[in-house]
A and B are shown apart, each in its own frame.
Chain A
Amino acid sequence: MKRKTIIGAVLAIGVVGIGFAFWMMWRPEIPVASQHQNAGRESLDRGRRVVEAGDCAVCHTRPGGAYMAGGLPLVTPFGTLFTTNITPDRETGIGEWSLDAFERAMREGIARDGHFLYPAFPYVHYRKMSDADIADAYAFLMSVDPVKYTAPENHIIFPMNFRPLVSFWNLLFLHGEPLEPLPERSALWNRGRYLVEGAGHCSSCHSPLNLIGGEKSSELFNGGVVDGWTAPALRGMAMAEHPWNEAQLVAYLTGEVAQGHGAAAGPMLPVSLSIAQMPTEDAHAIAQYILDLEKTSSAVTLPPCASTAKPGAKALSGASLFDGACASCHGSAAPMRVIEARPALANTSAVTADSPRNLIQTILQGIPMSTAAPSHYMPSFAHSLDDAQLAALAEYLRNESCATRPWKDLEKTIKSIRAQEQQP
């Protein structure tokens, strides 16, 4: 009798457990959509802007590849993912997806066939978008040229290569509803909040991630590292030592050179070129919302920056490296500075930042020619300066900008960045 009870209990727990696992980790397939009708011109125009706001092409188009056909590698702590083909090709893209399937993917991270998508696809943010925006984005994506292309296989480490486990991740991080405007704030601010927290998914890069790759909610917008570049904190920018104003941030966000600060480089460059395609009011809205983000962390108070002349053998060598390698564009009398009134390097974010990472990355990789006019191009110095010279140059520039807070471990940082980069 007793034995039967135990067996019964074990069975019951087993059934409940299987049922729970099934409920957690199984999602139904959504039926294949019939051929798509082309949406109206207005919906397509709106959809194009939503897709720019969501930076879809930044990840879903690989260098030299077809628009939205995927194949860009995303390096994560859990392995390398390749972005998927989101053109309307029925075989290799999302041509068989109905609007319902697309909306479920955007809000819950589930593909049409029911498999869990990895959270590198920012559905935790996209779920905050409005129904109308998601429908317009769908209409636009269904109108781009269908391309037959399948991305390479992902290389994800065990156990995260078992996709249903993402359901537990979702339990922790997938919440929030479509954003409702706050009535006490202006329409522009609300638009900025909607773009930054929804489609723009700014915090995906500009927040530190926890051990399982979720954004630390207590540290939201406090800055992170992405592709070896610092994604700076977005809080307190209006109050920073080198404060940003709206006009400067709008210029920066739209692929131009921001007076007194510099221009987007690294992974932010394609993002800024995307924002440049959106209506100017949207860039203003994003800037206004970001400049309104206040500091939350009780950061250690640092001594104020100051530039003090610190003559020494090393600084001297940094100065002559600057004169020979940098001054023809960045010297105070260079045409590049005089004609375009570009800021001195000492004022740029790369030099005023607490980490030397972005300065080093910019010198090593340069800034490619872009579609922005005029493009803020910079050549790569990876092959002409060695680690010690880079360190001397960075030390010299930092000394010009913030001698009171010198960068530590410069050569170590340079070595680790070089090791990450595969220079051509």
Chain B
Amino acid sequence: MITLDINGKTHELDIPEDMPLLYALRNQVGLNGAKYGCGLGQCGACTVLVNDKPVFSCLTPCGALAGKSVRTVESLGSAEQPGPLQKAFIDVQAAQCGYCIAGMIVRAQALLEANPQPDDETIRRHMAPNLCRCGTHVRILAAIKSVIAQGAKG
């Protein structure tokens, strides 16, 4: 049995310890926010927070997560009550196809929690690992900057 702390809730799962976290999130726990993109840590669609740091959940074995806390995009708000970043992404219509967006929001969340007032260069460098094939980066940056301008912590 593997014990995972996901979004503040403890889950006891009968899964092998080498199962990537992404599979457990989607198939066992029913959290479908994080997406399978490349499976190689190259696109960032699967980004979640482990101990407040962004990681590629497709390359994080569940066996490596004992005693660590996992947070996914679902922890940041709901469709009815979106969190500040989620709301900003909706307001500027940052999503085109939307596949990368959960990963983008989670990675941005990690930045704003650690550094509420990053400059443009810091935002770009921090967000660089996450790719968007539709090319909505300009709107994604605008959404993040609007949250910074409000002074909200993600």
Contacts and interface: CB of A to CB of B under 8 A. Distances in A.
A328 interface: yes
B37 interface: no
Interface stretch (A24-32, A226-234, A382-390): A382-390
Contacts of A328: 39-40, 58-59
Interface in B46-78: 50-51, 53-56, 58-64
A321 B18 contact: yes
Contacts of A378: 41
Interface string A322-334: 0111101100000
Nearest to A385: B64
B64 A329 contact: no
A181 interface: no
A386 B67 CA distance: 11
Interface string B16-56: 11111000000000000000000111100000001101111
B63 A379 contact: no
Grouping DSSP codes into helix (H, G, I), strand (E, B) and loop, the A interface class, with mixed when no group exceeds half, is: helix
A320 B63 CA distance: 8
Contacts of B126: 424
A325 B21 CA distance: 10
A325 B61 CA distance: 6
A320 B17 contact: yes
Contact of B60 (A64, A319, A384): A384
B61 A323 contact: yes
Interface residues of A, number: 22
B144 to A, nearest CB: 16
Contacts of B20: 324
Contacts of A317: 17, 63
A377 interface: yes
Nearest to B53: A383
Contacts of B129: 379
Contact of A379 (B50, B59, B121): B59
A173 B126 CA distance: 43
Interface in A104-149: none
A336 interface: yes
Grouping DSSP codes into helix (H, G, I), strand (E, B) and loop, the B interface class, with mixed when no group exceeds half, is: mixed
A376 B19 CA distance: 25
Contacts of B58: 328
Given A321-B64, A324-B62, A377 B42 contact: yes
B53 A324 contact: no
Contacts of B51: 383
A253 to B, nearest CB: 25
Interface centre among A324, A377, A378, A424 (most CB of B within 10 A): A324
Contacts of B121: 64
Nearest to B122: A424
B1 to A, nearest CB: 15
Contacts of A407: none
Contact of A324 (B18, B41, B55): B18
Nearest to B23: A324
Contacts of A384: 50, 55-56, 59-60, 64
B3 to A, nearest CB: 16
Contacts of A389: 64
Give the 7 A-B residue pairs with the shortest CB-CB distance, closest first. Answer: A324-B61, A379-B41, A383-B53, A323-B18, A320-B18, A324-B18, A384-B55
Interface of B: 16-20, 39-42, 50-51, 53-56, 58-64, 121, 125-126, 129
29 contacts: A64-B121, A319-B18, A320-B17, A320-B18, A320-B61, A321-B63, A323-B18, A323-B61, A324-B17, A324-B18, A324-B19, A324-B20, A324-B60, A324-B61, A324-B62, A325-B59, A325-B60, A328-B40, A379-B41, A379-B42, A381-B59, A383-B51, A383-B54, A383-B55, A384-B55, A384-B60, A385-B64, A386-B64, A389-B64
Given A317-B17, A324-B61, A325-B64, 13 more contacts: A320-B18, A323-B18, A324-B17, A324-B18, A324-B63, A328-B58, A378-B41, A379-B41, A379-B59, A383-B54, A384-B56, A386-B64, A389-B64
